[in-house]
Structure 1
Amino acid sequence: MSLQIQMLGTGSAFAKTLYNTSALVRSTNGNVLIDCGYSTPKSLHEINIQPDQIDGIIISHIHADHVGGLEEMAFRLLYEFNHKKTKLFLTQSIAAILWENTLKGGMYNPSDGFTRIEDYFEIVLIDEHIPTEILPGFTVEMITTMHIPHKPNYSLFINDRTFYSADTQFNAELLMQEVVNKRNCHTILHDCQLSGYGAIHATLEQLLTLPHDIQERIYLMHYGDNMMNYIGKTGSMRFIQQHEVLTLS
Structure 2
Amino acid sequence: MSLQIQMLGTGSAFAKTFYNTSAMVTNEHARILIDCGFTTPKSLHKLGITPDQIDGIVISHIHADHVGGLEEIAFRLFYQHNKKRIKLFITEPLAFILWENTLKGGMNNPEDGYISLDDYFDVILLEENKPTEIFRGLTIEILPTQHILRKTSYSLFINSRIFYSADIRFNEQLLIHEVVQKRNCHTILHDCQLSGTGVIHATLEELLTLPDDVQKRIFLMHYDDKMPAYIGQTGSMTFIEQYQILTLPE
1:216 aligns to what?
A: 216
Structure 2 distance, partners of 1:115, 1:22, is 27
Aligned length: 249
1:68 aligns to what?
A: 68
Q: Which amino acid aligns with 1:215?
A: Q
Residue-by-residue CA offset, 1:185-233 (whole Å, 9 max, x unaligned): 0000000000001100000000000001100000000000000010000
1:152 aligns to what?
A: 152
Q: Which amino acid aligns with 1:85?
A: R
2:110 aligns to what?
A: 110
Q: CA deviation at 1:27?
A: 1.0
User: Is 1:51 the equivalent of 2:51?
Assistant: yes
Q: 3-state DSSP class of the match of 2:130?
A: coil
2:191 aligns to what?
A: 191
Residue-by-residue CA offset, 1:140-189 (whole Å, 9 max, x unaligned): 10000000111110000001100000000000000000000000000000
User: Is 1:242 the equivalent of 2:238?
Assistant: no
Residue-by-residue CA offset, 1:20-70 (whole Å, 9 max, x unaligned): 000000111011000000000000011111100000000000000000000
Matches within 5 A, 1:166-177: 166-177=166-177
Q: Which amino acid aligns with 1:148?
A: I
Q: Which amino acid aligns with 1:189?
A: L
2:93 aligns to what?
A: 93
Structure 2 distance, partners of 1:135, 1:18, is 29
Q: Can you give the 5+ residue segments of structure 2 that lack an aligned partner in the other structure?
A: none
Structure 2 distance, partners of 1:176, 1:27, is 28
Structure 2 distance, partners of 1:40, 1:133, is 24
Q: CA deviation at 1:17?
A: 1.1
Matches within 5 A, 1:132-143: 132-143=132-143
Q: CA deviation at 1:113?
A: 1.4
Structure 2 distance, partners of 1:155, 1:171, is 12
Q: Can you give the 5+ residue segments of structure 1 that lack an aligned partner in the other structure?
A: none
Residue-by-residue CA offset, 1:116-163 (whole Å, 9 max, x unaligned): 111100000000000011110000100000001111100000011000
Q: 3-state DSSP class of the match of 1:189?
A: strand
Q: CA deviation at 1:84?
A: 0.4
Following superposition, which runs of at least 4 residues in structure 1 exceed 6 angstroms of deviation?
none
Q: Which amino acid aligns with 2:239?
A: F
Cα RMSD (Å) of the superposition? 0.6
Q: Which amino acid aligns with 2:214?
A: I
Q: CA deviation at 1:111?
A: 1.5
Q: Which amino acid aligns with 2:35?
A: D
Structure 1 distance, partners of 2:145, 2:39, is 24
Provide the TM-score with structure 1 as the length reference.
Answer: 0.99
